[in-house]
Amino acid sequence: MAWRVPSLTDPVNDWKPYALDVLSGILDGYPGARLNTRLVREQRVALDVDAGYDGIGRGPSLFMMGGSPAPGKTVDDLEAALRQQLRLVADEGVKPEELARTKAQVIASQVFARDSINAQASMIGQLESSGLGHRSEDLLLERMRAVTAEQVQQVAREFFVDDALTLAVLDPQPLPAGAKPKGRPAGVRD
């Protein structure tokens, strides 16, 4: 499931992209985040779930959610469960400790990523090519620290409408009786 959402164009005055980033962290930013805890461990409606948003890039961006249904559950069950998690944020907001934990996770993972020279190069390249400039990295962290619970709730209410949604389902087809899997295409190497 992918919704069209804005990307970051003005790092100082924009706030919605930062709030969308925090929202994706609330849903799927760490192993104990909402989607994994509720849909995989508690409701057992999914085998795995994910949510993600990358606000750095030219042009509009996408907020994505996805997963695979658990045995005995349908794609519709999973879709309804994912939508319900968005609605819960929109209706009830997020708890302060949840917000703090999500920010700590996002900030720590960005600091930790700088330990890799390769990741530093990609980050600088990404910031430059998106027009934000490589010097904006610390500013982005500061602005994300400033996101409030109300802002997260507000973006959850604003952007997740069906007019902006693309939904794709991979539906594996059964093999004809007696057929065997074709195996890997010719030329594929380990």
Binding site for another protein (CB under 8 A): 30-32, 97, 100-101, 104-105, 107-109, 111-112, 114-117, 189-190
* 65 CB-contact burial (10 Å; exposed 0-12 / middle 13-18 / buried 19+): buried
For another protein, the closer of residues 117 and 169 by Cβ is: 117
Residue 70 C-beta-side C-alpha neighbours within 13 Å? 13
Closer residue to another protein, CB minimum distance, 29 or 159: 29
Min CB(128)–another protein separation in Å: 21
- Give the pair of three-digit tokens for residue 84: 């319900």
Q: How far is the CB of 27 from another protein (least distance, A)?
A: 14
In the bound complex, what is the minimum distance in angstroms from residue 111's beta carbon to another protein? 6
Contact 35, 83 (CB under 8 A): no
In terms of CB distance, is 80 or 100 closer to another protein?
A: 100
* Rounded least distance, CB 70 to another protein, Å: 17
Q: Describe the strand order of the beta sheet including 2-5 as a list of residue ranges.
A: 46-53, 61-69, 2-5, 165-166
